[in-house]
């Protein structure tokens, strides 16, 4: 019995609005865009050789099931993705026995070109992560303002996930053909940075990938997230993520970037990229994202030595915070690029 989902290829582009433009005669041609994609491709830098690397979606699709969560059925994902309008919920799931150890890395960036005010061209470089690394929390225990303990808490498997996306944007002046700005989504204070605020090798921006959360940053070093603080009578607990960026190894994507979409050339869609129209998630929410599991992960991370710091109130609030943060993170990062607010 055929359990393939019903889909309608004729409305594949319906949910995405093409930007209207009064005059695109000065915009780069398709051939010029392909050269620009190479010239401005980022160089991704990694803190250590074990970091998860972005790769090609083709491998992932060949190794995945397309799951209809509503009907509780599944079928092969390869060449079976499109825009589904049947009201069901779909997601991709790696087949049994497929692990990170079996992953053959083929670097790839998928690029969308967008017209910006008829004066600039935005190149969005999208990177697909078949696997993500686990996270760690930094904890600081203060007793009357004096440090009693400071260290990392291993929260494995928190942070691990399959099928997520990251991206950055390069904004290029159509007249000068120079990159003027760069968009880093996780750089919350000011996501748009000028060329003087990033490091470059000729036209290529250096992008530093955090060691545990896969976020993109304009500089190396250590970056901390917002702190979560708890009062414990005469002592205080602080928790925060600590992202470490370095350049132990790097990957130049000038030879591994494919142009897959141009908003002012709406008919351009390479046939091998029909997966762009998949309007669902590239992985299921990880099973460990429940309150009971997160509470156990916290107890395991603290261990016997520091379990006395974990009062019921601290565990409840911290696990609730981690749960909401990670559910939202997975929801945003696992969605197909074309159906995010950035596209």
Of the chain, the percentage scoring pLDDT greater than 70 comes to 87
Position 2 in a domain: no
Position 312 in a domain: yes
pLDDT at 35 over 90: yes
Q: What is the pLDDT of residue 22?
A: 55
> Which pairs from 153-158 meet CB under 8 Å and 24+ separation?
153/239, 153/298, 153/301, 153/302, 154/301, 155/297, 155/298, 155/301, 155/322, 156/297, 157/286, 157/288, 157/297, 158/134, 158/288, 158/294, 158/297, 158/322, 158/326
Instruction: Give how many domains the chain has, as a whole number.
Output: 1
Position 3 in a domain: no
Q: What is the pLDDT of residues 193-225, one digit of tens each?
A: 999 999 999 999 999 998 766 789 999 988 888
Of the chain, the percentage scoring pLDDT greater than 90 comes to 49
Position 68 in a domain: yes
Position 214 in a domain: yes
Asked if 112 and 33 touch (Cβ cutoff 8 Å), the reply is no
Position 157 in a domain: yes
Query: Which residue range forms the structural domain that includes residue 210?
Result: 9-339
Position 220 in a domain: yes
Q: Band the pLDDT of 23: cuts 50, 70, 90.
A: low
Q: What is the pLDDT of residues 110-139, one digit of tens each?
A: 999 999 999 999 999 999 999 988 877 888
Mean pLDDT estimate for the chain? 85
- Give the global pTM: 0.87
Q: What is the pLDDT of residues 244-298, one digit of tens each?
A: 888 989 999 999 999 999 999 988 878 778 888 888 999 999 999 999 999 999 9
Position 1 in a domain: no
In sequence order, the 6+-apart residues with CB closer than 8 A to the CB of 340 are 165, 332
Q: What is the pLDDT of residue 15?
A: 38
């Amino acid at each position: 019995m055929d359990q393939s989902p019903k889909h309608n290829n004729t409305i594949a582009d319906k949910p995405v609005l093409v930007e209207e433009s009064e005059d695109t005669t000065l915009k780069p041609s398709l051939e010029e865009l392909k050269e620009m994609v190479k010239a401005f491709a980022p160089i991704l830098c990694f803190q250590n050789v074990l970091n998860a690397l972005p790769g090609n979606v083709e491998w992932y699709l060949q190794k995945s099931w397309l799951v209809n969560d509503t009907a509780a059925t599944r079928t092969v994902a390869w060449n079976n993705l499109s825009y589904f309008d049947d009201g069901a919920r779909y997601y991709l799931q790696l087949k049994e026995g497929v692990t990170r150890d079996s992953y053959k890395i083929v670097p790839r960036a998928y690029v969308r070109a967008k017209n910006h005010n008829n004066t600039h061209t935005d190149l969005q470089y999208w990177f697909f992560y078949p696997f993500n690394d686990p996270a760690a929390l930094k904890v600081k225990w203060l007793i009357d303002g004096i440090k009693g303990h400071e260290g990392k808490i291993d929260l494995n498997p928190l942070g691990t996930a399959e099928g997520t996306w990251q991206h950055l944007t390069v904004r290029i002046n159509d007249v000068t053909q120079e990159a003027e700005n760069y968009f880093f989504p996780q750089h919350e204070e000011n996501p748009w940075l000028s060329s003087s605020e990033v490091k470059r090798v000729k036209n290529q921006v250096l992008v530093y990938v955090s060691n545990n959360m896969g976020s993109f940053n304009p500089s190396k070093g250590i970056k901390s997230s917002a702190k979560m603080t708890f009062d414990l009578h005469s002592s205080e607990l602080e928790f925060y993520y600590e992202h470490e960026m370095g350049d132990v190894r790097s990957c130049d994507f000038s030879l591994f970037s494919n142009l897959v979409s141009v908003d002012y050339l709406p008919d351009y869609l390479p046939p091998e990229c029909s997966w762009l129209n998949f309007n669902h998630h590239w992985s299921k929410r990880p099973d460990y994202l429940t309150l009971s599991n997160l509470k156990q992960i916290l107890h395991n991370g603290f261990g016997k030595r520091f379990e006395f710091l974990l009062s019921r109130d601290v565990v409840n609030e911290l696990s609730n915070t981690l749960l909401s943060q990670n559910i939202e993170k997975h929801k945003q990062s696992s969605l197909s690029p074309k159906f995010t607010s950035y596209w």
